[in-house]
Amino acid sequence: MTRPAVRIALVLLLVVGVAAAAWQLQALENRRLDGVRQQDTLDAVRDQIGHAIDDSRTAQQAYLAQGQGLDFWEAKFAEAMASLTQGLAALRAQANEQPAAIEALDAADRALKVYEGVDRRIRSFVVNGTDLMAADAVYEDGLKTAGVIRTSVEQAHAALVGPARTGYDERRLQYIIAGAAAGAGILVSLLLLPTGRKDDPEVELHAPEGSLHLNERPGRLDPVAVAAPAVDLVTPAPVAAVPTVVEASRRATPVAVAASAGLSDETLDAAARVCTDLARVKDADELRDALGRAARLLDASGVIVWVTDAAGKSLKPLLTYGYPEEALRRIPTLTRETDNPTTAAWRGAVTEFVDATDTAPGAIAVPLLVPQGCVGVLAAEIRHGREAAVATRALAQIVAAQLAVLIPTESA
């Protein structure tokens, strides 16, 4: 996932998704807290009613005790009834047209009226001295009616707490949303990770002692200078080890070369993309990527792009791919008198190749040709014995033809 537009779109989608998840989490949290507060209120009202019923029962039982003032406990019963009535009114205010809660509260109101009537009878029995009847009313009618009120209040409380309790259930939904957001973040992070092959060497750019520049025209690279190593193509070789000229390709076009090589459609498509990208490079990073893909297309373990100096008397490395730093430091400047395939390709403006041996890979050297002549050489160490294949030479010539337009000339 390397396209900037796709990466930006993924990041924006992630930001929007996280923002939506955060908003939903906040909304769920608010609902949960509202439910908690509502249940706490309902619990408090239920407890208030329960205490009022207990106080009223205490007052009624005190009516029967010897030496207790009837007026004192009658006032206590009235206080308990006032608190009980207030609690029932608070529950009814929370009912919000919930049929089960309203029905239970109606039953509690009816029982409350009966309960007050029972209390009046108990007090009349006490005043008339019929303690036995008063006790019967306290422990039978009063206890039964108080139980009805308590049961009705519990039913109303349960009906009202049901919707409020869903606030606790929001917590599970919050965990799900948070987990989904985290999973999306991890997925996007994985998609944004570099997907390039880790075993591909990096294209190196180094500044040489001379002032070697690429064209500064619009669409070209900024001035770049460099240095690099080409083990098999740089080291002077005995005359017997240097093959004769293989192909006279001074005027061969990349299309003609590719057609003659019988390349597959996939290979031609990959070569076309590399050449297109080379023609459009604007900075060193794009050039690194294009040259690396060209090396993989050639199955090359190492590549060096050599260019001539201003006087046209020597070759210096401009770009390298696949060589260790120790080898880069040992690369010399090549002169026309140097005896190796790279300089042979430069002098003759033809493609040269070296056969692979049991201990060394094969190599190919392709001249970079422009109307003014040869301005450099594309040298590559080829793996798997493919250096002599027509397809390999054709692909190397295609890439070299495109690289040649990047090399500055006196007329540029």
The answer on pLDDT for 36 being more than 60 is yes
- Top mean pLDDT of 48-52, 60-64, 70-74, 190-194 is at 48-52
**Which range (240-244, 263-267, 275-279, 320-324) has the least confidence?**
240-244
At residue 167, the pLDDT reads 55
Count CB neighbours of 193 within 10 A.
8
Q: What percent of the chain has pLDDT over 70?
A: 79
Q: Give mean pLDDT, residues 180-202.
A: 72
Name residue 394's amino acid: A
Q: Give mean pLDDT, residues 164-172.
A: 63
**Where are the domains positioned within the chain?**
4-192, 203-404
Count CB neighbours of 214 within 10 A.
19
The answer on pLDDT for 47 being more than 90 is yes
- Residue predicted with more confidence, 242 or 285: 285
At residue 312, the pLDDT reads 82
Q: Give mean pLDDT, residues 46-55.
A: 93
At residue 8, the pLDDT reads 87
The answer on pLDDT for 56 being more than 70 is yes
C-alpha to C-alpha distance for 40 and 47, rounded to whole angstroms = 11
Q: Give Cα separations from 321 to 25, 201, 286, 308 (angstroms).
A: 52, 6, 14, 19
Q: Is 114 exposed, middle or buried (0-12, 13-18, 19+ CB in 10 A)?
A: middle
Q: Residue 249: pLDDT band by 50, 70, 90 thresholds?
A: very low
At residue 154, the pLDDT reads 92
Q: Give mean pLDDT, residues 126-139.
A: 88
Looking at the DSSP bridge assignments, the partners of residue 319 are 305
Q: Residue 1: pLDDT band by 50, 70, 90 thresholds?
A: low
- Residue predicted with more confidence, 311 or 80: 80
The beta strand positions in 112-225, using DSSP E, are 203-204
Q: Is 36 exposed, middle or buried (0-12, 13-18, 19+ CB in 10 A)?
A: middle
At residue 111, the pLDDT reads 92
Q: What percent of the chain has pLDDT over 90?
A: 24
Task: Concatenate the DSSP letters of all residues of 301-315 into one string.
Answer: EEEEEEEE-TTSSEE
User: How does the average pLDDT of the chain come out, rounded?
Assistant: 78
Q: Residue 408: pLDDT band by 50, 70, 90 thresholds?
A: low
At residue 192, the pLDDT reads 80
At residue 52, the pLDDT reads 93
- Residue predicted with more confidence, 189 or 258: 189
At residue 253, the pLDDT reads 45
- Top mean pLDDT of 195-209, 210-224, 307-321 is at 307-321
User: In the Cβ-directed half-sphere of 320, how many Cα atoms lie within 13 Å?
Assistant: 24
CATH of 203-404, one of 3.30.450.40, 3.40.50.300, 3.40.720.10, 2.40.50.100: 3.30.450.40
CATH architecture for the domain at 4-192: Up-down Bundle (1.20)
State pTM to two decimals.
0.41
The answer on pLDDT for 236 being more than 50 is no
- Residue predicted with more confidence, 98 or 154: 154
At residue 78, the pLDDT reads 93
- Residue predicted with more confidence, 250 or 281: 281
Radius of gyration (C-alpha) of the chain in whole angstroms? 47
| pLDDT tens string 283-334 | 778 888 888 888 888 888 889 999 998 888 898 888 888 888 877 778 888 8
Fold: same for 4-192 and 203-404: no
Q: Which of 333, 48, 38, 355 lies closest to 208, judged by CA?
A: 333
C-alpha to C-alpha distance for 287 and 406, rounded to whole angstroms = 11
Q: Which two tokens stand for residue 336?
A: 């026309």
Name residue 264's amino acid: S
Q: Give mean pLDDT, residues 257-280.
A: 74
